[in-house]
Amino acid sequence: MNDTAQPARLLLVDDHPLVRDGLRARLEAVAGLQVAGEAGNADEAIALAAALDPDLVLMDVGMAGMNGIALAGLFHERFPAIRVLMLSMHDNVEYVTQAVRAGASGYVLKDSPSMEIVRAIEAVLAGQTWFSAGLGVRMIQASAKEAPIERLTPRERDILDALAQGLSSKQIAQRAGLSVRTVETHRLNLKRKLDIEGQAELIKFAVENRRKG
C-alpha cells in the first residue's frame, strides 16, 4: 500500500464509541494500516491531528456539535497534507458535493462492506478520490456542470487571489497565519484541482479569475 514499510496512520473521528470500536477492529486487521488515534468531537480531532500527524482521517459526517463537513473544511485549512475520507449513512449527492468542496478526498457509506472501506482508504492515500457505488456516477454528472474554480475550497480561493496579487508563499503564509509548507501544499492542491502543470500557468489562471472587490 505504501512506498515505505511504515503503515499508514489513521485517525478515526466519530461521536459514537461503538462505531469507532468497530472501525478500529476492522482496520487494524488490515496489513499496512494503523489506527493512530480516535476522536469523538471536533476539538479532540484537531488536537490529535496536530499531535499525531496522521496520513488520513476517517471522519463521520453527522456528528454533534461541529459536523464532519465543517470539520473537513477546518482540516483542509490547517492540515492540507492530511487526507480526509468522509464516512456517512447519508447517500445524498448534496452532502457529497459539500464534503468535496470542504476538501474531502472521498465519501464512503457506513453500510458499505468492510473491503470497500479499505479500498476507499487505499485510494485516498494514493492521492485518488473514492465515492461509494452510485455516488461516483452522480458526482461526475454534477461535476461536469461545474466550472473548475467552483470546486475550490474557500481557503484555496483566498490563496488563488493572493497569487493573483503577486504574493509569494512566504508572504501568503504571514498574511494568513499559516506555515509556508501549508501554503505550498495548498498550491499543489490548486494545480491538481485545476489540472494545471506549472507555476506560471497557475498564476496566469489566478490573475484571470481574481475576485472583484
Dist. CA 196–CA 199, nearest whole Å: 8
Same domain, 118 and 199: no
Q: What is the mean pLDDT of residues 133-146?
A: 57
Tell me how many domains the chain contains.
2
Per-residue pLDDT tens digits for 66-106: 899 999 999 988 999 999 999 988 887 788 888 888 889 99
State the pLDDT at residue 47: 96
Q: What are the distances in angstroms from CA 85 to CA 10, 103, 118?
A: 10, 9, 11
Question: Rounded to an integer, what distance in angstroms lies between the CA atom of residue 28 and that of residue 49?
Answer: 19
Task: Show which of 144, 169, 185 is a domain's final residue.
Answer: 144
CA distance 179 to 55: 18
Domain boundary among 91, 122, 144: 144
Segment among 66-80, 96-110, 142-156, 199-213 with least mean pLDDT = 142-156
Give the amino acid at 108.
Answer: V
- Residues spanned by the domain of 126: 8-144
Can you tell me the mean pLDDT for 12-21?
93
Angle in degrees, CA 153, 88, 56, rounded to 5: 60
What's the grid cell of residue 70? 465543517
Same structural domain, 161 and 136: no
pTM of the model: 0.69
Q: Is residue 119 very low, low, confident or very high in pLDDT (cuts 50, 70, 90)?
A: very high
**39 vs 139, higher pLDDT:** 39
Q: Which amino acid is at 129?
A: T
Q: Which three cell numbers stand for residue 31?
A: 496489513
Single-letter amino acid code for the residue at 156: E
State whether 14 and 98 are in the same domain: yes
pLDDT-based confidence at residue 147 (cuts at 50, 70, 90): low
More confident residue, 139 or 45: 45
